[in-house]
Every structure is written in C-alpha cells, then in structure tokens.
Chains A and B, each alone.
Chain A
C-alpha cells in the first residue's frame, strides 16, 4: 500500500515538474548522453555528423559530440516515441518497430528533424532485429542505406555507418563491411576510431586472416592504453574479446590459455553495467574451456550468459547452442534438450538455431 502511495506521489510530482517546465520553456530538446545521467536540455541549433549544438535556456551553447549521444528527445515529438525508443533500447526490436510505425502515422513526426531521426530509428531497430536473427539483413541494409543517403549530415551518421558495416559483415559481404568500418575508423573521436579499427579486425577475422586480425586487435588494445574513459575502455575490452576470438581460432592449448588470461582481466574489470562485453567474455571463456576439454567449467561459463545476460539476444543464442551440446557431454541430456528447445523457441531465426538443424 505504502509503495503504491509513494508511486502515485512520484507520478504526481513528475507531472507537476512537467507542467512547470512546459510552461516556462517554449521549445526544448533533450539530448540523452552516455557521459551524463541527466540529459542536456535546450534548443538544438545545429546538427552535423560530428555532433549537435544545444542552446540551453540559460548559459552558453553546448556542443555535444555525436559519439556521446544515445538519443534525442525532440521538442514536440509524438509521446509514443518515448515508449518506442525504450523498447528499441531494451532490444525489443519487433515491438519497437511496431511502435515506430505507429509514431510515423502521427502528424508530429513530419517535423524534419523528427522525421529523419525516425528514419534512423527504424533502420536501427530493423538492424537489431536482423542481427539478432529475427529479421532479414537485406531489409536492414536497405533501410540504413536509405538513411545514409539523406542523413550524411546527421549526428546519427557514424552510428548508421557502423550498423551498416555490421549488417554487411553478417551478410558475409566483407568488402562492403570493410568500406563502412574504414569510414568509421576515420571518425574524429578515439573511441569511435577504435571501434572502427576493431570492426576492421573483425572483417579480417571473418576473412580468416587470423594473424592480421590479431595484430589489428592488438593495435586497438594498445591504442586504448591506460585510459580511464569508459567509452575508450569499452572499445579496448571489445578488442580484447576480438583478440581472444583470434586466439581461439588459432587453436592450441597455449592460445586458449592466453585468451583465458586476457578474458579473466576483462571479467574482473568490466562493470556489470556493460552486459554485452561481459556476456561475450563469458562466451569466449566458455569456448576456451570447451576446447581445452574442461567441459564442466565451460558449462559454467556459458551458463553465465544464459542466467545473467539473457537479454543479450545473439550472445544468449550462442550460449544456448553450446549448452545444448555440452550438457549432454557432462551427463545431463535433459538439460541439453531444454537448452536446444529454448534456442529454437526463443531465437528461431538465429544462425545458432539453424546450426542445430531440425
């Protein structure tokens, strides 16, 4: 009861704040940033592919670099857009797309900035769906390309480029992917550069140029140095994961053990707020242990993804795939069957489910 009262009070207070704000400011955009918990509010006065300029009600203009932007809540945008974006960020891409389609029918979405951003958001959710194995890569590509044709000056540009690169890579179009990631690597920010270079390493890996990929990942790691910047560290960790993948692909006990050591570092340093890196680190750890013949330990590693990071859909699917075989190997065929069942049921389009066969 007390909880309900306090919830009602909070909602009331929020409404009040909203009303007060609406009355006092005529036009206000909100930039949701990675580097801050509070959005930057004000009127967006300039947009480029490197960032936004926000003119707050009080004080000087604020330049928000594109690599720091998560989303923008546009002044006058349809209310439903908030819910749609929420679903998108929660990896509920199908729901997000339905919501975006609904938003598109709202007249408020015709405002140029909103319209363009909505085009990006739809492309992003479509890509998410495709990368999770629940949608078609071709759809994602066409939507991203369409956006890039008109959004060359959008702050979403580099994100779109990155996504397109991933889609191309997932589709096995290595050259196209490389082209996109090269653009990404030319971004003015170190973390984005690192992301681009890391992605290029991934292309090398996809081409089976393992040593080159390994070197490329190492370069990214070196670039990250000892920076404490969360974003740069994130890229560094991603590169460590890439490097581990290379080591795994190289095969051999020494490689696996080196990879395990690197992964141990990632697992102890990366905070729980970065579930994607953690999930992937556990997956790679599982791979190493599995290949070293330590099946029980491998099960434990994959179980981390299944039990703690199930929201990381593609990674979860991968963990289920491995659990689907490893459980049998350690004497639990019923658990293996259950893991396979969940893979088929929850990720029917995923490449991992397809690997299972019928």
Chain B
C-alpha cells in the first residue's frame, strides 16, 4: 500500500499537468504554422529536447520565415516551461523554469508589440507558479522535514510573485472587458461582439489564475493548519464563484473540478465525489467536455481508492467500463493510462485482502500485471511506476522462494529488499533511543548486515541476468541501489566508484538519480577521508572529494545537494585551508537553513586565513590588498551571520552559541582595527550580550563545552580588556581585568598567568600585523595606550603575582611588537624588572610552596627570554643553564636555550651557532637538531600530543636551517659560508626525502629558505615542490592524526620569534610553568574555540558524510534532491563532528 501513501504526490503531479493545459490552451495563440504544429506535437509527446533541436534547426534554416524566427525564443520558453512541468523532480524543474523565464524575457524585449507578448508575460506568472509548486513539492517530501518551513516560505514567495502578475493582468482585463456594453448584437455588431468575447475570455482566465494562486498558497502551509484550511476554503470559494459565473464554459467546469480537489484535499471525500459525479453527469458531449470528464473520472477513482473509501471493486468496474468504450488509440492516452493505473492499484489492494481466495487473488494479480504491461508500453508518467509495480506483483504472484531467472524478477526482489533497509535502520535507531541493551542492538545490527548482504547479492544477480532488453535506466538504478547498499555497509570505495559512475553516465531522464549518486560518491569519499590512517591517504581522499564536489557544483549548482557539498567541502578545509573553507561557506545560498551558520563560519575562516597569513614572515605574506580583502570579508560575513541570527532570535531568548561566537570573532577584528567602542558594544550590549552569555553563577563549575567554558569566557573578557585599554578607560580596564581573573582564577593551575602571557603574546602579534600592514600610527597608538596603562599599573604598590605577571607579559609583548629597538629594549627591561620582582618576592607573593615551586622555573624562563631580547646573553645563559640542568627534558627550556645560542651567535659570536644546532652536552642543552630528533621520537612513540610535537619539530628544523643561514651570513671566510649553506641544503633535502607530506602551514617557509640557500650557493633555484617532485619520497606512514586542534600560528609565532626570540611560541611553556591550559593564540583561539563550542549544537546530519542520499524505493523516480531522514542513518558508524576534529 505504499502507493496509497504516496498518493498526494501523484495527485499533485496529475493536477499540475492539467493546470497548464487549460491555462495555456486558452491563452496561447493557436499554433497555425506547420512549424508551430510540429513543436506543439513534440511537446505533447514530451520530446522536449527534440523540440529544442528543431528550434535550433529553424534558427539556422534560411527557408524559415522571419515570422517563424521571431517566435523562436517564445517557443523555446514554452518548451522549457512544458519540460519543467513534466520533469520528475524539483532539481530538474527549477533550472528549466529559469530558462523559460529567460527566453520569455528575451522574446518580450525583442518583440514588445508582438501578439504573443502579453501571453509571454502571463506565462511568466505561470512559471512562478510552477516554481512555487517545486518548492511545495520539496516541502512535502519526507526527507525535507527539517527544512519544510523554508521550502514552504520560498514557495509562498513565488506564489505571491505570481499573484502580483496575475492580479495586474486581472485588473487590466477586467477594465478592458467592462468597456464593452452589456448587450451586443452578435450579427449586427459582430466585430465588437468578438472583441468582447476575447476580452471576457482573458478576464475569465485571470480570475482562474488568481484562484489557482490561492490554491497553491494553501499548499505552502501544513495540511490542516489554520492558514491552510483558510486558504483552501477560500480557493474552493473562488473556484465556486468562477463556476457559478461561467458554468456553461470550459473554464467554469475546470473551476468546478478544482473545487472538488480542494474538498478532497481537506479529506472531505464525499463532497469531492459529489462534485466529480456532477461533472461526470454533465450532458455535454464535446471533445473538451469528454477530456474534462476523463480527468474527473481519474480523480474520482483516486477518491474511491482512498483509504476512507477503499471501494476497489467500483474502481475496477468503472475503469473497465470506461476502457470498453474507448478505441485502441484512446486507451493509450496519458489520462487513460492514469485510469488504468488506478485499476491496477485497486486490483492489487483487492487481491491482498485476507478474505480473497487464492485463485481469485492470483487472477487479480495477473490482471494487474497485464495492465502494468500495457501501461509500461506507452509513454506516460505511469510508465516507470508500472514497471516497478510489475516486479512487485511478480513477487506477490510467485513468492520470494523461487530463484529469479531474469533481470526483472531479480531486480524486483532486490527492490523489495532495498525498501526494507530503512526499516532496519529505524529499528536500530529506536533501540538506541530507548537505550536498549547492547545485546539487543547487536542483534538488530546483525540482522541489518545480513539484510544488506542479501540485498547486495540479489542486485548482483539482477545485473548478471541483465540482457539486451534490459533498459539502461534499469541497469543504472540497480547500480545505484548497489552503491547505496555498499555505502550502508561502509564499503566506501565500492560505493564511491559506483556512485561516481552513475552520476556520470545516467541518462538525462535520470538526473535525480545522477545527482543522488554523486552525493553517495561524495559521502563515501568523505568517509574515506576521515578513515584514512595517514596524511598522504587523506590527501588522496581530499582530491577525490574535490573533484566530486566540483562536478556536483558545476552540474547541479541549484540543487540542495550543491549546498550540502559546499558545507562538506568547507568542513574538510576548515583548519587546514581556511580561505577555501571560507569561500565554500560563503557560497551557501541565502535561503539555506544553515545560512546564518555558514556566514558566521565563513567570517571566522576568513579571519583565520588572515591571522595565518599575518603570522608568516612579511616577505612570504600575500599581498596586503588580499589580506585587507579577507579581513573585510570576515567582517561582512560575521555581520551577516550576526544579523541573521539576531533576527531569528527573540530578545528574551538566551543568545545562541553561534551568535556569541560570531560576536567574539567580530570583536577581535574591531579591536584590531581600533574600533574599540564598537567592540565593547558588541561584547556588552543587549540583546544577546556576550558578557551575559559567558557568565555563570559559580566560577568553579564552568561547563566543559560551549561558550560558557572557561577558555571561551576568558577570551571574551580578554577582548573586553583589550578594548578598554584601547579606549584608555583605565577603570573599566581594571574591571575587565578583574573579570578575567575571576574567570581564569577559578581554574586549576596557573590559568591567570597563562592568560596574561597570552595577552602579551597577542599584543605582540597585533603590533606585528599593524606594522606589517604599514599602520605605524596605529602601532604608536597601541603602544601609547598600553604604556600608559602599564605605567599606571606599575605605580601601584599593592602588586600581586597576577598583576606583576600581567605587567611583565604585556611589556614583553610590547617589546616584541615594537619596531623601534630602543623602545623594545625599554619594554623588555620593564618586563625583566617585573619578572625579577616576582622571583625576589616569590615567597611573599605565592604562599603555597608547591605552587611556588611550579611557578618559579616558568618565570625564570620568561626572565631569560627577556634578557635574551635585551642582549644580556650571559645573564640569560646563566638562568637557562640552571633550568636545563634541573629539567633537561622540558621542551620550552630547550627551545629557549637553542634560541639563546642562536641569538648570541647572530650578535657576533658565531661560535655560538654550532651550540644552537648541536647543543652543549655539559649544560644539558640539546640544540635544534637534537630537539628535532627528540620530538621525532615522541611522535613515533604514538604520543597523544603527536600533532603538537609534529608542529614543533617543523619549527625546530626550520630554526636549525635559519641558524645555518645566519651563520653563513656572519662567516668571514668563503669556505665557512659555503660549508654552512651546503649543510643547510643537505639537511633540507634529506628531510624532504623522508617526508611524505609537508605541513602546508610550513611549506612556504621551507620553500623560501630552500630558495634562499640555493641562491646563496649560486645554484639553479628551484622550488622545494619541484625538488620533491623530482625525488618524490615513498609514502611514509605517519601516526594517525586526529586533526590539529592547535592553530598553525603557534608555530608561526615561534618562527617569527627566531629572529627576535624563539621562546614566545604560543604553546611553548606548556608542561613547564603554565601547565593546564591549552589555549591557542589570540584570534585563532577564537576561531578554534567557536568550533569547539558550537559543534555540539550544529545539525551535523546536514553535511556530515552520512548525508548520502537514500534512494527512496517507492518514489524513486521522483525523489530528487531529497536528503535522507536522520532515522535512516541509524546503525552507521557515526563520523566525528567534522572531518578534522
């Protein structure tokens, strides 16, 4: 009885096909030329592509008259329009309608005074109505339940636009008609009489169109909802009015039929049938009347087959009688096949009734089979469903026990099994929802797996039994099912290969299947990407994802799957290729359900790209114009996302996390550009204030995720503090600091200290960025604001550990960001002073001895760092050797020590370079090369921090190369110079030979270094990529990565620091002094934390790999562009929230 359930869709299809026939039949000028007749006939046969070919021929033909040529765009439009009406799926309809509109516009523009110009305008209204129907269709699709409202809204907008056109036409035609006197003598005033007749006809048509608009508008609401009932009743009344006025005319009768339909759809079957009976009993015998009655009979049979009636016997009798009276040719007309299809449904329904004897049952099923065979022979929309029905009937007749001997039987069985997959998935999902025992779930899962396997076997058998008579479409469908089964079985390669093949080779009639297949391929590749154990395999999967996505986007740009694809791609790129992620997010259509989120994420990814780019050395950065563009885009998209989310969130409702995250990102941009007040407004002002959103009643119990988690909350407070300092509102800044301390202070460990260190670090980066973009005035403004604030803070006598750390870190940040060497030295001096104060007053400032013991080495390290920047290498050396001796395995100490020797070497003591590279054993200092080896060992040991170590290894190796270059630069003899450069060349080449994938964040830097080395050696300069291509390394299996949660800029900061100090790396002091928090640097941290916070709330199903389409079995020919219901995904391995996390 699946057909019964899908009846509304079929009914709508049937109805939609009638509307244009009436409407167009009355409005369009009769096609009198041979060309026009031929085109009309081609369209009636649904040979649309040949109609277009014929128009191409006419366009080129020298013998075609100018008159014929002039209407070619109009005819093209009508052909596209009819093709759109006949298309099986919304995905196919929309572009056809768009083309129709385009050609109508072209025609009207070129021929404004043509007799068909008015009609062309009216056709535009019809197209809008057609597009509205597409949206309505989408909204009624079970797989679009989640975004039903969006489709309904879009449909409503189209209806209203159509209504506008029809209303204007109505008023115009009414006016024109009213000009004529009521009485005209048909003979004496023949001319006037005809004109009035024509005017009245147009007026009638306009009224009819408006009533249709009301009907369609009703469809844009949920059945049974108050607006639906109101509009459906109104439509029924409007149709009735038209019928009352023009009951003797064709349009009046059609209006009556529609009135019946309105009742039928409100489940008032009796009333509907009353109207249908009245129409069937109409005495007229004209061809038009017969056509109406045939159509009405079809509707009545649908009513009789309705669950409420179930008068199957009557359906069989009436349809049989109708057929008896028709000629052979009449029996194969589309509506006749519709009537026969209803008979099939009635026969099947009657056959399966329990009281039916087997003999009668088989007789009925055989008759239904014969009918299906007949339907299947002739072109109509029932052709395909009849074919499937035949297979089902065959199974019902023969049973499943018999081994199929032909394609049809095997495919029929496979089809039946295929339909049951969803049931299995639903059961598992339900069991999980009801928290059934693991054993129960396992049993259900095993059943499902067995079912999938048998389905697959049956599909394979069907394909084996395929012969010459098997149509291509059936073969493709079998393969499509197979792709889906493979996907369900987690066999990604098989699913992807089949999906890809079908998406490329399915015929034009199977556009929906092709798109769904492409989506299966995409989802399979995504899953393959996630499951890939190595970076190299991930890269390969990524290429497949990209090519599949490119095809979906190019071939079906308007489909909802294209939107999904954009989101999927963006997710894959997120974190790795932020710019591409941003661009994909930004392309998500405005009417998409996730538009606000996509806009926000686009903004965040643009911001991240900007931050990443700013973190690389200035000579390797993209053009400033590009950077400015990215930042502007970030701002625009964030503002869009915020505005859209605000709009849909009542003021009284708590701010959605997405909104809070977007505001924080935007605040960062505003801070960066000195728009501090705007930033404060964004963070503080209601509605949906960020500061309110992050607040909790008890600081000790902050949640682990979401915007209230400690890291995010402290970041928001940092931004507020930054903005207040920017405005030099020192009291407010003080309050913000207190808030920050309150948030971070409640955390275990030295969170506040870490926060202040980060603030200083961010300050340094901000100054770098401003300086790099040539905003010296802003640099001075920032420096002045901070110096003023810090100066006042330093005056205070009641300094605490935290305030001193804040002062020290901020001065350190200012020192690193200062472009003026003297100013930098002063800042580092102030910083050192504060660190020294902490060390001197440690007992007083930190009473807890254990805590003190943990803090002192960290502060010492920071002091050593400042001393290095001040050029006080001996003092720094003494401090660092002390640390290295006591904690030789502390990475941060080793990094600082190597950086110290490197800076010392650069200062003129070239002998120190070697120490920077190979270390000093007696001091237990490793040097860059040993650090890299040590990190490699950690990575190879399978550490959970492998990704972080990997980034640091890149950093250490890079610094080693820098050491060589710097050493060569200060070397006085040529041999010494060349020797260092050759070593550097050999080291980088050796590294490339054993590295399968170069971290994309480091690749440009390594490339630049490599070029520099070659250039200095006077060798031909080639890129590192070219070198790698030449000596391509074998795939080296890396430890599986669970995606870097740390931002790339962490490494970048360290690199930047190498020339001016290495130990400022974002996460450098981890495990040493500031253990506990893993907050990333600055703005990147914002992006990262937003990901973390919002991911749980995000509807992953939309663009997670599990969004592979489910080919709907009973409506397979019409189920285009549908996304699967969440329930159907049950039992599949849930992918991580996003591929990179």
Contacts and interface: CB of A to CB of B under 8 A. Distances in A.
Contacts of B473: 334
B50 A300 contact: yes
Contacts of B50: 296, 299-300, 303
B57 A300 contact: yes
A337 B472 CA distance: 13
B471 A333 contact: yes
B795 to A, nearest CB: 87
B423 interface: no
A334 B471 CA distance: 8
A24 interface: no
A304 B378 CA distance: 19
A304 B248 CA distance: 36
Interface in A293-325: 296-297, 299-300, 303-304, 307-308
Contact of A307 (B41, B328, B378): B41
B378 A338 contact: yes
Contacts of B37: 308
B643 to A, nearest CB: 49
Contacts of A300: 50, 53-54, 57
Interface in B45-90: 45, 47, 50, 53-54, 57, 63
A112 interface: no
A333 B472 contact: yes
A335 B383 CA distance: 12
Interface string B721-764: 00000000000000000000000000000000000000000000
A334 B45 CA distance: 13
B379 A1 contact: no
Interface in A332-351: 333-335, 337-338, 341, 345-346
Contact of B286 (A3, A304, A341, A345): A3
Interface string B375-391: 00111000100000000
B507 interface: yes
B38 A308 contact: yes
Nearest to B32: A272
Contacts of B329: 346
B42 interface: yes
A334 B469 CA distance: 10
Nearest to B247: A1
A268 interface: yes
Contacts of B286: 3
Contacts of B47: 303, 335
A307 B45 contact: yes
B379 A307 contact: no
B647 interface: no
A331 interface: yes
B1030 interface: no
A335 B379 contact: yes
Interface residues of B, number: 24
Contacts of B42: 303, 307
B34 interface: yes
B38 A338 contact: no
A338 B248 contact: no
A31 B42 CA distance: 40
A264 interface: yes
A163 B471 CA distance: 45
Contacts of B383: 334
Contacts of B377: 337-338, 341
Given A333-B471, A335-B379, A307 B63 contact: no
A337 B378 CA distance: 9
A2 B248 CA distance: 9
Given A303-B42, A333-B472, A338 B57 contact: no
Given A307-B38, A308-B37, A333-B472, A268 B63 contact: yes
Nearest to B507: A331
A174 B162 CA distance: 67
Contact of A345 (B54, B328, B507): B328
B286 to A, nearest CB: 7
Nearest to A333: B471
Nearest to B328: A345
A272 B378 contact: no
B289 to A, nearest CB: 11
Interface in A1-28: 1-3
Nearest to B63: A268
A279 to B, nearest CB: 12
Q: Which of A299, A300, A308, A338 has the most CB of B within 10 A?
A: A300
A300 B248 CA distance: 40
A297 B472 contact: no
A330 to B, nearest CB: 9
17 contacts: A1-B248, A3-B286, A268-B63, A272-B34, A296-B50, A296-B53, A300-B54, A303-B41, A303-B42, A307-B41, A307-B45, A308-B34, A333-B471, A334-B379, A337-B377, A338-B378, A346-B328
- The list of the 9 closest CB pairs from A to B, nearest first, reads A307-B41, A1-B248, A268-B63, A341-B377, A300-B54, A272-B34, A308-B38, A296-B53, A338-B379
Given A272-B34, A300-B50, A303-B47, 15 more contacts: A278-B34, A303-B38, A303-B50, A307-B38, A307-B41, A307-B42, A307-B45, A333-B471, A334-B473, A335-B47, A335-B379, A337-B377, A345-B328, A346-B328, A346-B329
Interface of B: 34, 37-38, 41-42, 45, 47, 50, 53-54, 57, 63, 248, 286, 328-329, 377-379, 383, 471-473, 507
